[in-house]
A and B are shown apart, each in its own frame.
Chain A
Amino acid sequence: MSKKKELQLKSFVITEFTFKTIFSDYYIRLCLYAETFVSNSSSAEDIVQDAFFRLWNKKDDLQIDVSIQAYLYRTVHNACIHFLRHKKVSEKHGEYQKIKLQEAELLYYSTLETSSKAILAEELQHIILDTVNSFPEKTKEAFLLSREEDLKNQEIAERLNLSIKAVEYHISKALLSLRKALNDYL
C-alpha cells in the first residue's frame, strides 16, 4: 500500500467535514458486516448508528494512531458480540446464535488486521467489477442474484433452472476467483 493511502486512513483529525465522508463511506459496509453476525438488518443498523454516535462524541480525543476504519470495525464487532451474548432467543434460534457468537469471538483479532489493511473502496470495487464481468454467463448470473437480491441458493437454482449444487459451484467459483484477484489487497 502506498504511503499516501496509509496516511489517508490513519492520521485523521475528525472534523465535521471528514465525519460525513467517513459516514457515507462506511455506513453500508458496516451494516452489512454487522448483519453477518446478528442476521437482522434493523439491529445491525442500530449497532452501526451507535458506533458512529460514539465516534462523533469521541472525535476530539480519539487516538490518532488508530485508523478510523479499524476503530469503527472494532466498535461494531464488539457491539455484535455484546448483542449475541445478551439477546434472548427462542430455543430454535439459540443454536444458530451460539455459532454466530463463537464466530464473532473467534475472529476478534483477525478482524482488526483485515480491516485496517483495507485499500480504498473504489479500487476494490473496480477490481471486483472487472472480475465479475470476466465470469462465464452462468457464474455471473448466479453470483449477482445471490449478492444483489440476497436470494437463497434454492431460489437462485429455481430462477436459473439449475441444481442447487450447480448454483453453489458457480457462487463458490466466483468467490474464489475474486479472492484470487484481490489477493494482494486483502
Chain B
Amino acid sequence: MESLRHKDRNKSFLEEITTIDPALITRYLSGDASIEEMNEVLSWLRKGKENQTDFNSMKKIWIESKVILLNQCDKSENAWERLKYRTSYIQTEDNELQPRRNIFIFYRVAAVMLILVSIGFVLYFLNPFRKKSAGVMAYNEVVVPYGAKSIITLPDGTKLWMNSGTKIRYANNFGEISREVFMEGEAYFDVVKNPKKPFLVRTGYINIKVLGTAFNVKSYPDENFIETTLDRGLIEITKEKGSDSIITIRPKEKITYLKFSKQLSVVSQKKKVVEDRIEQVPDKIPAKKAQPEFQICQYVNTELITSWKEGKLIFERERLEDIVKKLERRYDVVFTFDKSELKNYRFSGSLPELTLQQVLEGIQLSAPILYKINKREVVINENSMYKESYKRWVK
C-alpha cells in the first residue's frame, strides 16, 4: 500500500522521514483504532512536523468530505438562531428586557380567541396600514393566546391557520382596494387567487406579496428571525424599510430574515443535497454572498414546518431547548432546566395531538430527563440513572 508521503518536493531535509500504514490513520480518524494503535499514531506524529501537517491535511479531507454530504442548512440555521439569541440578549441588556409574554398577558383569560374591533385614530397613526385613504379606519384584530390555536376565514375567502400566541390585524375595508394583513406570531395562509388585488402580509420587518398560494410565516416578537416557507405558488419578499429589492421564493424554499441586522441580502444555499448527492452539486458556484441578512434554504420539509396546523408535533433532531419553546406557546407553560446541558439533547419524532403530559412522557423515553409539572411551570431534571445508557446510544 502507498505510504503517506507525497510532498516530496516540499520535503525538509531536517525532518526525519518516517512512514506509517495509511490504514492506521484511517482507523484513527474513524474511531476504529485501539488504544495501542492510537499511541502508535501519536508517536508517528511526534517524529516530525511534516507528519503533523500530513495528518492535519488528512483530517481536513475527512471533515470536508463529510461537509459535502451533510445538508448543513438546518443544523447551522438552528445554531445561528441560538447564537443570535445570545448576542441580541447582550445587546439589549441595557434597554431593560421586557418580559417575554407581556403582549398576551391580558388575553390569557380568553379561552380561544378574542376579536377586537377597534375604531380609532390611535391605530391610524400607529400601524403600518396607514395609507392614502384619509380619515378614520376601523380594524379587526384577531388574537390567539398561548395554549390555543385557531382557523379563521378572511372576507375574501382566504383561510388562515393561526398558531398559539399569534395576532393578526386587517382593515375593515379589507378586499375593497387591497388585501393587507399585519401579523405577529405564526400562521399558515391559504390565499384565494386574485391577480387584481395582490395579498400582502406585513410583519413590520418584511412584507410578503402573494398572488394566490399557500405558505407559512413565523414571526414571533421574542425571536430574532422571521421564517417564511412556501408550500405552493410563488411569493415575493420585500423589506418594510430601506432597499426595494424583491426576492422571489419558490415552493419548498424557506427564507429566513434576521431582524437584528437590517440590511437586505440573499444567501442561496451552496448545495442541493438530494437523493443522488454526489452527482447533484450544481455546476455553478453561487457568486458572492454579500448579503447575509436573508437566508434561503431549499428543499425544506414543508410538512414538518406546517405540522403545527394539524396539532402534530414533528421534530427532526431538534434541540430540547427549541422544542420547549414550542411547547411553551402551545400549552401556555414555562419551562426551567435543572442543568443547562440538558437543553442540548436532540429529539426526533412525530407526535399526534396530545396533552402536555403525554408529550413529555414521550420525550422522557428518549432522553435522560425527568419532568415535573407544577401548575404552569415545568421543571426538567436530569435522569442520572438513565444518563449512562443514553450516552452509549448517542455518540
Contacts and interface: CB of A to CB of B under 8 A. Distances in A.
A6 interface: no
B26 A36 contact: no
Nearest to A120: B285
A150 B113 CA distance: 48
Interface string A158-186: 00000001001101110110111011001
Contact of A27 (B79, B295, B394): B79
A28 interface: yes
B281 A32 contact: no
A23 B293 contact: no
Nearest to B38: A99
Given A152-B30, A179-B61, A106 B52 contact: yes
B152 interface: no
Interface residues of A, number: 71
A133 to B, nearest CB: 6
A27 B80 contact: yes
B67 A125 contact: yes
A176 B25 CA distance: 10
Contacts of B345: 42
A129 B285 CA distance: 13
A165 to B, nearest CB: 8
A16 B292 CA distance: 8
Nearest to A165: B23
A186 B57 contact: yes
Chain A residues touching B, majority SS? helix
Contacts of A7: none
B358 interface: no
Interface stretch (A60-68, A78-86, A139-147): A139-147
A36 B265 contact: no
B30 A171 contact: yes
B64 A21 contact: no
The 5 closest A-B pairs by CB, nearest first: A20-B292, A16-B261, A172-B22, A110-B52, A186-B57
Interface of B: 1-2, 4, 6-7, 22-23, 25-27, 29-32, 35, 38-39, 42, 45-46, 49, 52-70, 72, 75-76, 79-80, 82-83, 86-87, 90, 258, 260-261, 263, 265, 267, 270, 277-279, 281, 285, 289-293, 295, 341, 344-346, 394-395
Interface of A: 16-21, 23-24, 27-29, 31-33, 36, 39-42, 45-46, 48-49, 52-53, 56-57, 95-96, 99, 102-103, 106-107, 110-111, 113-114, 118, 121-122, 124-126, 128-129, 132-133, 143-144, 146-148, 150, 152-154, 165, 168-169, 171-173, 175-176, 178-180, 182-183, 186
